[in-house]
Chains A and B, each alone.
Chain A
Amino acid sequence: MIRYIVNRILQGIPLLFIISIILFVLMMNMGDPIATMGGRSITRSSDRVRLTRQLGLDQPVYVQYLYWLIGNDWAKIDLDGDGIEESNGTRRGILRGDFGTSLVNRGKPVTKVIGERLPNTLLLMVASEIIIILGSLLVGIYSALRQYSILDHTITALSFIGYSMPIFFIALLSMYLFAILFKRWGLPYLPTVGMFDPQVGKTTAQVLWHMVLPVFSISIISFAAYSRYIRSTMLEVMSQDYIRTAKSKGLPRREVVYVHALKNASLPIVTVVGLDLPLLLGGAVVTERIFAWPGMGRLFLDHVSRLDMPVVMGILLLIAVAVIFFQIVTDIVYAWLDPRIRYD
């Protein structure tokens, strides 16, 4: 198993390299980061020339990629525009742990930009994922065991309603209902935006209170999808011969369902969860934007709209690494769930 893991990690290195080249080239062809540096007016031509030179954007794409990868502290650059490359570069490149500095928040290291947002996203997304997985397991198993019951039909109908609604609609609707209308009706109401009320301060209770609506919005759609998925896999497993055998042996129903059936039904679910987990790092773009939650999704959107290449590349690489990591974890969990799977 260890050999397998090491092999997978080694395979991931060239993969990351290829991903980085593709993303970098795509980013460099998306527009001009200097275009929006002039505020509400077009960037002045003299500033455009100077910034293009100072930020190294006048270099060919392959040189910019090389600097991003291995740094430019070994090269001379022309800062004052006199045509003479007189100054040493200061970047060390990602291979030496330097992800660069943000073009938007000039001078702020990319690791710091991302590091400030990642905990907020994990807080929101992990809470949502726990609710989604636990809730959908309960509902999915219940629906499978009581197929075609009134409750199963009701859950199915609600799932389709939840799944068919766009998240921005759910988010805005829930905000309007639970924050504005509840307040108007004199009921206990939820906050609209942010992580805490400035009059109260950033307490744990405040943050949890402000998480309710975003977590609800994120959960409702995935909850609907997951519960349907679990229901179908459980139905399939419950009709297998070995379950019938387990029942014939007189095993308690609880053991049959939660040990024998669920464990095997979990294999495809683990695949889906394994693919979803790295995306948690990317945050929920729409939900974070609507509820003004300071997470990775908003960070990505804000910086990609201004073509902040170092930050965007940092986020994308982080997700790429997470995808590879969680795929390895998924494979390990497969082996744990199904003893027939061996990687040696």
Chain B
Amino acid sequence: MKQKLFFVLVVTALVLTACGGGVATQAPVETEAPVATEAPATEAPATEPPAAEAKVATFIWTQEFDSLSPLYQGMWFSEITQQFWLCWAWQFNEKNEAFPYLLTELPSVENGGISEDGTQITMHLRDDIKWSDNEPLTSEDFKFTWEMFTDTKNTVSSAYPYDNITSIDTPDEQTVVINFEAPFSPWLANLWQGILPSHILRPVYDAEGTLDNAEWNLAPTVGCGPYVFDEWESGSFARFTTNPNYWGEPPKIDEIFVRFVPDDASQTAALVAGDADLGAFIPYSDIPQLKEAGMTLTTEPSGFNEGWFFRIDDKSHPAMHDLNVRKALAMAIDREAVNRDLLLGLTKVPASYWDSLPFYNDPPSENYPYDPEAANALLDEAGWVDSNSDGTRDKDGVELVLRYGTTTREIRQDLQAVAQQQLAEVGIGVEISNYDADLFFAGYGEGPAANGELDIMEWSDAPGFPDPDVYYWLCSEIATDENPAGSNWFFCDEELDALIQQQSTQMDANARQETISQINQMFHDNVYWVGMWQDPDVWAVGPRLTGVKFSGVTPFFNITEWDIAE
């Protein structure tokens, strides 16, 4: 009897525990009705199925949002989701050209929106834009956004580019005048990506002295995009439904259901099985399988290229200072074969750091060809010879063994193995190492890249796409004991430094193009960076979706035109 009673109790407890969890139909805590200082309450999120006739598109994100607030997000997936429910002042089309969204027109010198000296930008807002709670979206929201990004009481992920603004004037509800201390040429690619609702968040800030703990960050019940946030269940999904007060063309799809699937193979399986309509960051090796399953694969340049960053300073191997050695490195790797064999021929070797910005990669750079013989000759000429017959070149008693590190991403480890073998064929030894991203990219004092423990560093990066701005190589950014946060882990070239500073203040596109071309040429001639493969955004689109276009900057710029085929 005692055993039976015990068994019944245990089973009952387990069933109750189980039922209290995921199956519950009660609203998750984070989406409870907001407090009085927050948005007008929306209904507690329903877990009931959508109406039978509702068109629901399921998207798979391989990373879950960190935050939905532009202030606190530091993830690409969080950023691109903004096009569903939040507003950027302007967006970018499938050609990555900017077009006004909240503005009547894009500011320019010609239309008087940009002052002659480039230190003032004036924007005129549309008069019909409003938040999803029907409140008007005004210049006050823009000013509030700037204030919050630069307020030290908020632990925002990045204060850039708002920390370049000295003041904002709002002469009326539709006019925003932005003042800079110096001309700020990368404004178009960086400013006003996600406007904050002042009428919702200012009371929170006034009450708490910070927005760090605002409910809106994780449950933004008020937005201004074609959809409104409905529910975000941690680790599982986020749901966006149509905004009944949207001021633009209403969307054709009723609901966007974002499911978080962290495993690449599972994402592919879900897409093949028809359990999702859209996937991103598709592994190249899965593309044939997805195509076979009827998916459309789209690659969209987003400025990113995988490449080698060289360290050339007193912490690097002495050979890294020799231009012939760096040229030999570029010529000893068969990068075409890497793209063909490791990436299934779906990518190309980028000729330049600005490869996906043709306007600035002009005249186009040319890649150093794969030529081991020429690489050997260059190394011989530089005095690096195998004097002790150990298979590795040396000079003045120093062996030519370079330290080559990157993250643990599989394709990078594959490239390391190939590079080690091919460089060995020209007498260059390579010590390879891999780190988790949080360690690899850690700052000076902690990270191997920042500390100068690597001669060759590999990752995928981009200029301020679609802007050509770069800043890593600024001499003021060199990471040292005095400047441990510096992001220049490479070298200081004063001529390059001057050009980088110059381009960041040039408001005239043609003059800036000329400067970037000079920088591009310096990169090529001095072999400061070697591209391995283009790294565009890869999207898999299911057969149900129609009207789909992507941009490399604002991927869902035409989300209202997307539809589901019957």
Contact = CB atoms under 8 A, between A and B. Distances in A.
A192 B442 contact: no
- 10 A-B pairs closest in CB distance: A119-B21, A294-B235, A201-B49, A32-B442, A31-B439, A31-B438, A48-B485, A294-B236, A35-B441, A80-B152
Contacts of A30: 438-439
Given A45-B479, A52-B485, 7 more contacts: A32-B438, A41-B462, A104-B66, A123-B23, A194-B236, A202-B25, A305-B436
Interface of A: 30-52, 54-55, 79-81, 87, 101, 104-108, 112-113, 115-120, 122-123, 126-127, 130, 172, 175-176, 179-180, 183, 189, 191-195, 197-204, 207-208, 289-295, 298-299, 301-302, 305-307
7 contacts: A87-B153, A112-B29, A193-B60, A194-B236, A199-B56, A289-B263, A292-B236
A189 B272 CA distance: 13
Give chain B's interface secondary structure class.
loop
B477 interface: yes
A101 B484 CA distance: 26
A106 B270 contact: no
A34 B212 CA distance: 16
B173 interface: no
Given A38-B74, A198-B257, A120 B158 contact: no
B58 A123 contact: no
Interface stretch (B130-138, B213-221, B523-531): B213-221
Contacts of B24: 119
Contact of A126 (B18, B263, B267, B479): B18
A38 B14 CA distance: 43
B98 to A, nearest CB: 20
Interface string B60-88: 10001011000011111001000000000
A115 B236 CA distance: 14
Contact of A32 (B20, B261, B441, B461): B441
B12 interface: no
Given A40-B304, A46-B159, A123-B23, A294 B30 contact: no
B237 A194 contact: yes
A193 B486 contact: no
A197 B437 CA distance: 33
Contacts of A179: 269, 273, 275
A124 B153 CA distance: 41
A28 B239 CA distance: 35
A193 B266 contact: yes
B236 A122 contact: no
Contacts of A192: 266, 269-270, 273, 275
A201 B158 contact: no
Given A41-B462, A295-B235, A307-B438, A49 B485 contact: yes
Interface string B478-503: 01000101110000000000000000
Contacts of B66: 104-106, 306
A289 B499 CA distance: 46
Contact of A45 (B67, B304, B477): B477
A201 B275 contact: no
A198 B237 contact: yes
B218 A198 contact: no
Given A44-B487, A119-B21, A183 B29 contact: no
B160 A45 contact: no
Contacts of A41: 461-462
Contacts of B440: 35
B234 interface: yes
Contacts of A176: 269
A32 B485 CA distance: 12
A193 B64 contact: no
B235 A299 contact: yes
A32 B446 contact: yes
